[in-house]
Amino acid sequence: MLKNNRLILNGRTLTWGKRTYVMGILNITPDSFSGDGLIPSNSGRNFATSDKIGETALVQVALDQARQFISAGADILDVGGESTRPGAQPVDGDEELGRVLPVVRALTSEFQAPVSVDTYRAQVAEAALEAGAVMVNDVWGLHADPDLAGVIARWGVPVVLMHNRSSWAHAQIKERLGGRYVGIPYDNLLEDVKRELLESVAVATRAGISTENIILDPGIGFGKSVAQNLELIDRLEEIRALGYPVLLGPSRKSFIGYTLDLPPDERLEGTAAAVAVGIVRGADIVRIHDVQQIVRVARMADAIVRRYNLTDS
């Protein structure tokens, strides 16, 4: 039983268990693992901030992609300015701000769809919320920046707390298939993930974040082997049993590539299978690159599993 069965997000009511909500990914990076980064890979790392022409072009590309996502049925837009793939070069807070802020401002001016900022930095979250974002997606579950929880509490917005044991020492990278993690020690995969997610929840609630604003993400692809990612999806209901809505992010990830021996641009069917099983196991939100196709998968899965009537509001 969830602690709360709904969330108000930018004036919209998300009712957990009624249907699956789709979060469309806007990667404002040149080096996304999935190949969908909106900054050209040959532009240099400061494309978004080096000149006004570059910034204007980037914003227009982001608006065009967001428009397609919304038309296809995306419920939330998730904007991130730093790649999290194994081997990616980190960016500093100022560069992340330079990438993210112009896009967040443009999205919130142009569209009614809720905008989430994918960041673990308090500095970036604060500025994005001031610019109109209404949600924070933290891949480090409030463990990377001690000030982030306070920012989220002060703004009273929802937060996605993701489980993450990523470690350079356990990263293995193949040119065609990308990075994966091997040999990260777990005593018991599900019990360890659940315990560490609840540690993030404790950080959140101590800072004053309401339980109704907490969403959990098991961290598919972050510090787990291929087999562990597959097991987590199959046992997702155990994460949801913690009492919080669950976000699942399997889109184009390397566990699909290594399972099917396919590069990122050929992982749509594998993503669709992971999403469908995730919905059966209780996912409330799916974070996706291929929005049009996965919205259809989610609607079909919802019709089967949740008997969701597409004429409902």
pLDDT digits (tens, 9 = 90+) for 139-155: 999 999 999 999 999 99
Is residue 25 within 8 A of residue 251, CB to CB? The reply is yes
Q: Cα Rg for the chain, rounded, in angstroms? A: 18
The set of catalytic residues is 253, 287
What band does 115 get if pLDDT is binned at 50, 70 and 90?
A: very high
What band does 29 get if pLDDT is binned at 50, 70 and 90?
A: confident
Which pair of tokens denotes residue 79?
A: 């904007």
- Which residue type, as a one-letter code, is found at position 308? Y
Taking residues 63-67, report their average pLDDT. Answer: 96
Which pair of tokens denotes residue 196?
A: 């560490």
Top-tier CATH class for 18-305: alpha beta
Torsion from C-alpha of 152, 153, 157, 160, nearest 10 degrees: 60
What pLDDT is stored for residue 237 in this prediction? 98
What pLDDT is stored for residue 200 in this prediction? 98
Calpha distance 169→101 (Å, rounded): 33
Taking residues 270-297, report their average pLDDT. Answer: 98
What pLDDT is stored for residue 12 in this prediction? 93
Calpha distance 153→146 (Å, rounded): 13
What pLDDT is stored for residue 32 in this prediction? 46
User: In angstroms, what CA-CA distances link 290 with 66, 122, 267, 269?
Assistant: 12, 29, 10, 10
Q: For the residues of the chain, what is the DSSP string, one character each?
A: --S-SEEEETTEEEETTTS-EEEEEEE-SS--TTS--SS-TTS-TTHHHH-HHHHHHHHHHHHHHHHHHHHHT-SEEEEE-S--STTPPP--HHHHHHHHHHHHHHHHHH--S-EEEE-S-HHHHHHHHHTT--EEEETTTT-S-TTHHHHHHHHT--EEEE-----GGGEEEETTTEEEE-----SSHHHHHHHHHHHHHHHHHHHT--GGGEEEE--TTSS--HHHHHHHHHTHHHHHTTSS-BEE--TT-HHHHHHHT--GGG-HHHHHHHHHHHHHTT-SEEEES-HHHHHHHHHHHHHHHT---TT--
Q: Where are the domains of the chain?
A: 18-305
Q: Which residue did the predictor score with more confidence, 58 or 64?
A: 64
pTM reported for the whole predicted model: 0.90
Taking residues 148-171, report their average pLDDT. Answer: 88
Residue 170 pLDDT greater than 60, yes or no: no
Among 27-36, 92-101, 123-132, 151-160, the least confident range:
27-36
Phi, psi of 202 (to 5 degrees): -65, -40
Residue 313 pLDDT greater than 60, yes or no: no
pLDDT per residue over 223-261, tens digit each? 999 999 999 999 999 999 999 999 999 999 999 999 999
Q: Which residue did the predictor score with more confidence, 58 or 260?
A: 260
Query: 134: which residues sit within 8 A by CB, 6+ positions away?
Result: 9, 10, 114, 115, 116, 157, 158
The packing angle between helices 226-234 and 189-207, to 10°, is: 70
Share of the chain above pLDDT 90, in %: 75
Query: 2: which residues sit within 8 A by CB, 6+ positions away?
Result: 16, 17, 240, 243, 244, 245
Taking residues 82-92, report their average pLDDT. Answer: 70
Residue 301 pLDDT greater than 80, yes or no: yes
